[in-house]
Amino acid sequence: MSLLRALVLGVLQGATEFVPVSSSGHLVLVPWLLGWENPGLTFDVVVHLGTLLAVLAVFWRDVIRLVAAWFRSLRGGEVGTDAKIAWFIIIGSIPAAILGFLFEDVLEQAFAAPRWVAAFLLVTGVILALSEAAGRRTRGFPAMRWLDALLIGLAQAVAMLPGVSRSGSTIAAGLGRNLERDVAARFSFLLAIPVVAGAGLFTLLDWAEAPGLNGASAGALAVGFLAAAVSGYVCIRFLLSYLRRHSLLPFAIYCWAFGLLALLAGWLGWRA
């Protein structure tokens, strides 16, 4: 793998993991459109670790506070807002874990079908657009309930389909449950931590079974890791500020445009 490809794919993973336009969709469609080979399991592990570093770099204080509050709740201490949010993250992570376990083979087949990925990208645009027409956006973290976490977690599970944005689906679900924009975004990003860590762990286990499928030099791995970490960090910071006052509609339009372009390119053979 060239350093340029590593840079492009690292930026794609880091940026689109958090921007609501589907990282899985871009990592399938962009190499497919450009005629690039699969970068390999090792590269996949490394860029996932880069995005994990990005979200932890932004939310490390929150993570420490939430984990401490969760342990206090286990010891019979007061179950305040922080402890409840920690429990909600656990609840919200369960649907994706179950779906991934039960339908791993089906999901892998979906990743191998770029046209389906492009179609699901169009679905992401619809989800984002509909979220702007639903909800009153008046509830903060203290008003969250376990049902909110479960429904947002179900949206995250659906987003395991390549082309359906994880951040877009979870933020949209939060807005649909009347959460404030920044609350929906922050909970979405916090909910990403166990998912991204789990994805990296399972890919690492796959790599351990087939270590020859690396496909990238040490230099390409380093570039991919740094690109994913830096782009992920920048995009989280940008979105936390952007979503306080702005609509998701520009991202919906982008998903529709890119999805239609990919479908058209597939039908007409406009690929590199």
**Residue length of the chain:** 272
pLDDT tens profile 84-126: 999 999 999 999 888 877 877 777 676 678 888 899 999 999 9
Give the pLDDT of residue 179: 93
Q: How far is CA 207 from the centre of its chain?
A: 21
Give the pLDDT of residue 42: 72
Average pLDDT over residues 144-157: 95
Give the pLDDT of residue 215: 54
Give residue 35's region: left, alpha or beta (phi > 0; psi -120 to 50). left
* Weakest mean pLDDT among 41-50, 60-69, 102-111, 258-267: 102-111
Q: How far apart are CA 179 and CA 165, in angstroms?
A: 19
246: helix, strand or coil: coil
Give the pLDDT of residue 68: 94
Instruction: Give the contacts of 69 (CB within 8 A, at least 6 positions apart).
Output: 80, 82, 83, 86
Phi, psi angle pair for 179, to nearest 5°: -75, 150
Residues 119, 163: contact at Cβ < 8 Å? yes
Give the pLDDT of residue 184: 92
Give the pLDDT of residue 207: 66
33: helix, strand or coil: helix
% of the chain exceeding 70 in pLDDT: 92
Residues 203, 44: contact at Cβ < 8 Å? yes
pLDDT tens profile 186-238: 999 999 899 888 877 776 776 666 655 455 677 888 999 999 999 999 999 99
Query: Of 114, 98, 208, which is closest to residue 162 (Cα–Cα)?
Result: 114
Give the pLDDT of residue 266: 83
